[in-house]
Copies of this chain bind each other. A is one copy, B any other.
């Protein structure tokens, strides 16, 4: 069969059906998609060694392993536990030959209103695990999350903020650009250009009008208002020509459909509205 170049599927998109790593990789390959973005739970379910063999034997390529980060916590003990967990994520990413490890900030610790403090915990956490990542040859991709997730999920909220972190941390850290999180940013074209070769991932989906849930109502490309081809042009102008990775959290729509239909739709929409030439 003909393989689709330039398109990757993230596990989140078909998670309700293709739950194991084997199901997920098989399903993508059957649909002609060779590049996949697994989540840690899939690797942990069978162990790093088995997951690495499965990936190598399948011929699939891994973009980023999702996901790590989530450093802010109320106690020093909990912050150390988060750092330990990130070290395990780095081992997992190395073990399956992932291109990078996707990292999100995490929200405010319970009861906290100290957003600057939470952001400092993110910076400190990444700094603590960066030597491990460098030793393992795993790039860390900081993914800024939409400001509606600041409180409970991701307190790194703009590309500017993520790149400021990269500037402070040095080699081995870049960014994941998910259109859902950054499309609204008036400074977007400037920050994508600034990112340059530090762009490690480009995630796609769409912003629906109306949006009925802050987390689980993402749209399929073409069903919303994001200028996907326009953002792709910015990303390629910055020097990133890696795959566009479909990541759709959609509890009431796409997660209820058959995964083969979902993946077939992503391919059609990718060709129709996501390429830089679209």
Contact = CB atoms under 8 A, between A and B. Distances in A.
Count of this chain's copies in the oligomeric assembly: 2
Chain A interface secondary structure, helix, strand, loop or mixed? loop
A108 B183 CA distance: 13
Interface string A251-273: 00000000000000000000000
Contacts of A211: 148, 151, 214
A157 interface: yes
Given A147-B148, A148-B147, A148-B214, A113 B184 contact: no
B209 A152 contact: yes
A20 interface: no
A150 interface: yes
A171 B226 CA distance: 34
Nearest to A186: B161
Contacts of A185: 147, 157
A31 interface: no
Interface string A180-199: 00011111000000000000
Nearest to A208: B151
A211 B146 CA distance: 14
A101 to B, nearest CB: 23
Contact of A114 (B112, B113, B147, B227): B227
Contacts of A150: 183-184
A158 interface: yes
Interface string A197-214: 000000000010111001
Given A151-B211, A158-B186, 10 more contacts: A108-B225, A112-B225, A113-B227, A148-B214, A151-B225, A152-B210, A157-B184, A160-B187, A161-B186, A210-B214
Q: Which 10 A/B pairs are nearest by Cβ-Cβ distance?
A: A150-B184, A148-B148, A147-B184, A113-B227, A161-B186, A151-B225, A151-B209, A147-B147, A152-B209, A113-B225
26 contacts: A107-B209, A108-B209, A113-B225, A113-B230, A114-B227, A115-B183, A115-B184, A115-B225, A119-B186, A146-B147, A146-B148, A147-B185, A151-B184, A151-B211, A151-B224, A151-B225, A152-B209, A152-B210, A155-B184, A157-B184, A157-B185, A157-B186, A160-B186, A160-B187, A161-B186, A214-B214
Interface of A: 107-108, 112-115, 119, 146-148, 150-152, 155, 157-158, 160-161, 183-187, 207, 209-211, 214, 224-227, 230
